[in-house]
């Protein structure tokens, strides 16, 4: 008992920021059992509501909403620049269904669902969408339901000033399924509301075939996740996140 307390005490001192212990959630020891993934999935789901408004000690931004200053994308015949936009629903509605942690191959994969996601902000666009010429900009709004996605990450373990830290080496965000979507791009055909409305109607009928549109947000989320996990990994020692027995 005393030994245990001492170990915990030392552990607390050694830990630069005492995370995730500060959130009062369980740490999952790296015992190679299927229970590890269950333990970690549960811990993450407990952590998300607490990280919703951000975690300044680690420099973590809020998850509700996620604010993104700029995303530029050029593919499949059109160029779109998004600015000052927000994603609402990830901090509030994300449920991590499963995680896969493989310390040997240094892989951490996440599988989750978001029941409802609202993305809103400003945009400019130029090019062709589904053979229709587009050239405009203004506000945009996308409401998506029942999104299933995967996040595949890989890492290295580096000794930084005597302490092991994870370093993210790969991040891949993939949408597996989107249940529903309603999309609006204001003034997508500059100065002509009737044409803009009909382009929006076509987009709403065909968004499932428009990978290019989904990819814009996948790209933005990948960058967000890279920064977010990068901060956690650089500030919290490996053994504090995933204690090795
Ligand atoms: C997007 O931004 C780039 C660089 O800032 C600019 O050159 C391009 O014209 C913009 N595209 C649109 C569609 O606004
Ligand atoms: C998500 O799926 C559930 C169950 O199939 C359905 O009731 C709900 O309306 C869906 N939500 C959205 C936003 O599509």
CB of 124 closer than 6 angstroms to any ligand 1 atom:
yes
The answer to whether residue 9 scores a pLDDT higher than 70 is no
The answer to whether residue 147 scores a pLDDT higher than 90 is yes
pLDDT-based confidence at residue 243 (cuts at 50, 70, 90) = confident
Mutate to test the pocket of ligand 2, among 89, 115, 144, 146 (most ligand atoms within 8 A of CB): 146
**The pLDDT value given to residue 15:** 43
Q: Which numbered atom of ligand 1 lies nearest the CA of 78?
A: 13
Centre of ligand 2 to C-alpha 4, Å, is 47
Residues 21/55, Cβ–Cβ less than 8 Å: no
Ligand lying nearest the CA atom of residue 137? 1
The Cα 2–Cα 84 span in angstroms is 53
Residue identifier of the C-alpha nearest atom 13 of ligand 1: 125
What proportion of the chain, given as a percentage, has pLDDT over 90?
Answer: 78
**The pLDDT value given to residue 134:** 97
Mutate to test the pocket of ligand 2, among 117, 148, 180, 207 (most ligand atoms within 8 A of CB): 180
Q: How many domains does the chain have?
A: 1
Residue 82: CATH number of its domain: 3.15.10.30
Q: Which numbered atom of ligand 2 lies nearest the CA of 143?
A: 13
**The pLDDT value given to residue 20:** 73
The answer to whether residue 4 scores a pLDDT higher than 60 is no
State pLDDT tens for residues 49-94.
999 999 998 999 999 999 999 999 999 899 999 999 999 999 999 9
8 or 126, greater pLDDT: 126
What range defines the domain where residue 31 resides?
2-241
Q: Which numbered atom of ligand 1 lies nearest the CA of 124?
A: 14
CB of 72 closer than 6 angstroms to any ligand 1 atom:
yes
The answer to whether residue 13 scores a pLDDT higher than 50 is no
CB of 83 closer than 6 angstroms to any ligand 1 atom:
no
pTM of the model: 0.88
Centre of ligand 2 to C-alpha 127, Å, is 33
Residue identifier of the C-alpha nearest atom 9 of ligand 2: 145
State pLDDT tens for residues 158-177.
999 999 999 999 999 999 99
**The pLDDT value given to residue 12:** 39
**The pLDDT value given to residue 2:** 46
Residues 6+ apart with CB under 8 A from 155: 106, 107, 108, 166, 167, 168, 169, 233
The answer to whether residue 191 scores a pLDDT higher than 60 is yes
Distance from the Cα of residue 36 to its chain's centroid: 22
Mean pLDDT of the chain: 90
Centre of ligand 2 to C-alpha 182, Å, is 13
Centre of ligand 2 to C-alpha 58, Å, is 35
pLDDT-based confidence at residue 25 (cuts at 50, 70, 90) = confident
What burial class does residue 85 get, using C-beta atoms within 10 Å of its C-beta: 0-12 exposed, 13-18 middle, 19+ buried? buried
Centre of ligand 2 to C-alpha 145, Å, is 7
**The pLDDT value given to residue 18:** 66
Centre of ligand 1 to C-alpha 81, Å, is 6
The answer to whether residue 7 scores a pLDDT higher than 50 is no
**Segment 107-126 mean pLDDT:** 97
**Segment 110-131 mean pLDDT:** 97
State pLDDT tens for residues 202-235.
999 999 998 889 999 999 999 999 999 999 999 9
**The pLDDT value given to residue 32:** 63
């Amino acid at each position: 008992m005393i030994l245990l307390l001492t170990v915990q005490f030392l552990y607390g001192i050694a830990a630069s920021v005492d995370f995730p212990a500060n959130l009062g959630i369980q740490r999952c020891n790296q015992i190679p059992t299927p229970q590890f993934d269950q333990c970690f999935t549960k811990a993450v789901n407990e952590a998300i509501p607490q990280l919703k408004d951000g975690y300044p000690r680690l420099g973590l931004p809020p998850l509700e909403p996620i604010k993104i200053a700029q995303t530029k994308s050029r593919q499949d015949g059109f160029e779109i620049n998004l600015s000052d936009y927000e994603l609402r629903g990830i901090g509030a509605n994300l449920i991590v269904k499963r995680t896969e942690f493989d310390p040997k191959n240094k892989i951490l994969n996440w599988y989750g669902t978001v029941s409802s996601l609202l993305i809103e902000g400003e945009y400019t666009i130029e090019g062709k969408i589904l053979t229709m010429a587009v050239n405009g900009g203004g506000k945009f709004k996308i409401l998506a339901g029942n999104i299933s996605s995967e996040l595949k990450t890989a890492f290295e373990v580096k000794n930084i000033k005597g302490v092991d830290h994870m370093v993210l080496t790969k991040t891949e965000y993939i949408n597996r399924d989107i249940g529903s979507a309603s999309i609006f791009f204001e003034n997508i055909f500059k100065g002509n509301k009737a044409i803009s409305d009909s382009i929006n109607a076509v987009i709403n009928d065909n968004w499932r075939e428009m990978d290019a549109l989904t990819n814009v947000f996948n790209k933005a989320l990948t960058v967000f996740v890279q920064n977010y996990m990068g901060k956690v990994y650089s500030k919290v020692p490996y053994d504090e996140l995933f204690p090795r027995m």
